[in-house]
Structure 1
Amino acid sequence: MKIDLDGPEPLYEQIAAVLAARIADGTYEPRRRIPSEAALCEEFKVSRPTARAAVKVLNDRGLTATVHGKGTFVVEKSTKKEK
C-alpha cells in the first residue's frame, strides 16, 4: 500500500491503513510492538503529530494499545467472548 501525498484521505489515515494491513497479514504479530513514532516518521517521511495520529486511529479501532513508556502493541484478538 502506498501513501498518496496529494490524495483526498489524510496522511494519518493512510498510514493507519498500511499499519492495519500489516497487523491483518501478520507482519506485526499479537502482543508485539509496532514501530515507534520516530520509526514511523522516518519510514513514511511524516511529522511526529501525523505518526501519533495514525497510532491513535489504530488504538481507537482496538487494533493496538499504547503503554506509556513501553510502546504500542498489537492487541490479541480473543476467539470467544469473555464474561
Structure 2
Amino acid sequence: MSVDLDRTRPIWRQIAGIVQARIEDGTYPAGSKVPSVVELSTEFEVAASTAQKVLGHLKAAGWVRAEVGLGTFVSDQPPARAER
C-alpha cells in the first residue's frame, strides 16, 4: 500500500495518525500486533528512528502497549473506544 505523505508536516505525526485510524477502523483490532519499526519504516519509506517515534507516541497516548521480546500490540481499550 502506497501512502502519500505531506512533506510540509511532521512525517511521524502523519504516520501515527494513519496507524491510529487503522486501530479505530478495526484494521488492527484490540490485542492484535501492530507493524514493527522495520515494517513501518519499509511501508512508509522512512528512517527506523521515525518509525520508533511513531510507536513511542502511540504508546504514550495509550493506543498501543509494548511487550519486550514479543512486539507492540493494540491496547485492550484504546483511547477512542474508552471515550464512547
TM-score by length of 2: 0.84
Give matches, 1:1-83, under 5 Å: 2-4=4-6, 6-7=7-8, 9-77=9-77
SS at match of 2:40: helix
- Between the two proteins, what is the percent identity of the paired residues? 35
| RMSD after superposition | 1.8
Aligned equivalents of 1:3, 1:17: Cα separation in 2: 11
Q: CA offsets, 1:41-72, max 9 Å, x none?
A: 11000000000000011001100001111100
Return 5+ residue gaps in structure 2 as ranges.
none
Return 5+ residue gaps in structure 1 as ranges.
none
Q: CA offsets, 1:11-58, max 9 Å, x none?
A: 111100000000000000101100111110110000000000000110
Do the aligned partners of residues 25 and 2 (structure 1) sit closer, same or farther apart at CA in structure 2, a change above 3 Å counting? farther
TM-score by length of 1: 0.85
Do the aligned partners of residues 22 and 56 (structure 1) sit closer, same or farther apart at CA in structure 2, a change above 3 Å counting? same
